[in-house]
Amino acid sequence: MSFSDQLKCGRCAAAFPEVHIVKCDRVTAGNNQLSIRLSIHVEVKTLEGNTVVSGILQTRLRPEMLGLRERNYDNVQTASRPKPSKKKYTVAVEGNIGCGKSTFLNYFKKAHNVEVFPEPVDKWKDVHGFNTLEKMYNDAQRWSLAFQSFVQLTMVDIHSKESEHGIKLIERSLYSARYCFVENLYRSNLMPEVDYAVLSEFYNWIQENQDMHVDLIVYLQATPKTCQDRIRARNRHEEQSVPIEYLQSLHDLHEDWLIHQKKFKVPCPVLVINTDCDLQEMYKRFDKQKDSILLRNKENIS
């Protein structure tokens, strides 16, 4: 009988004589001459069948405590932790609507060893047939919680995506979703305090439990008037109702966060590029900062 079978046949149940069932779904152990380390999925039930405890029991036992002094432990699987994967050097491009992020991404996606991850706008525009982006623009008070919840979810997905390249270049980040866009809705009285609290808790949980690291933020700085002109020129259906006041508010929040750090701290160094210029001049400014953006971490450049 294997070590795992012996546990399942009742040796664990002996420790809980007052209960009806002790179920051990998985057993792993590391064996040496002194002790055995156990990680056991257990479920404890009363005689009436009600679950009292359900979870993971971890303990360290001497072999003789289980009557296994003379047993062969070759059949026991030794638990081992997976090796942590090397974090990719991640650059987030931030800025107002119409500041030049798409132009920036198109410019750098041709660079060696770079993979670009644009905002998942198509996902926002089709959530089982619902255009959540359009709904949010048309009625922010009604749809801001639903939209920003989905934005945070999709941004976590972007942060978590694996890349075969040395550098991940992402359009916006979980940070700007919370510090600029959610914050703007709340300060503009377009989001109730309870919705703001829920999104804040969601954000805090993600930060505590997921890897959202960013190594460099590139802030494309442009005036609200410049952004409005570009929005009108590209003529995206969902953005036609965006007022200049909204762009000004977002501009102020980006400045407060990335320049002045009045309320929220930046997670990494910030490189500012002014994009109040025409397209050709913008390309020149990107080219001037190319080494600063791509070579900051030389280990990832092959």
DSSP symbols for 231-248? HHHHT-GGGTT--HHHHH
Between β-strands 270-274 and 216-221, what pairing exists: parallel, antiparallel or unpaired? parallel
Residue whose tokens read 């003529």: 235
Residue 9 has what pLDDT?
A: 45
CB distance 16 to 22 below 8 Å: yes
SS3 46: coil
Per-residue b/e over 184-201, b at no fewer than 16 CB within 10 Å? bbbeeebbeeebbeebee
Burial status of residue 133 (CB atoms within 10 A of its CB: 0-12, 13-18, 19 or more): buried
- CA-CA distance, 121 to 138, in Å (whole number)? 16
Question: Any bridge partners for residue 219, and if so which?
Answer: 94, 272
Helix orientation angle between 101-108 and 279-288, rounded to the nearest 10 degrees: 50
Residue from 110, 118, 205, 190 nearest 148 by CA: 190
The CA distance from 274 to 99, in Å, is: 9
pLDDT, residue 56, reads 55
Is residue 140 within 8 Å of residue 129, measured between CB atoms? no
Using alpha carbons, list the distances in angstroms from residue 234 to 228, 231, 238, 266: 10, 5, 11, 30
DSSP state of 172: S
* Mean pLDDT, each 10-residue run in order, the chain (302 residues): 43 42 41 46 56 54 47 39 62 97 95 94 95 93 96 96 92 97 96 96 95 95 96 84 92 97 93 96 95 67 35
Residue 255 to residue 259: CA distance in whole angstroms: 5
Helix (H) or strand (E) holding 115: strand 114-117
CB 259 within 8 Å of CB 252: no
Q: Residues with catalytic annotation? A: 171
pLDDT recorded at residue 60? 55
Residue 183 CA neighbour count, 13 Å, CB half: 18
What pLDDT score was predicted for residue 65? Answer: 47
Alpha-carbon torsion (207, 98, 107, 256), positive or negative: negative
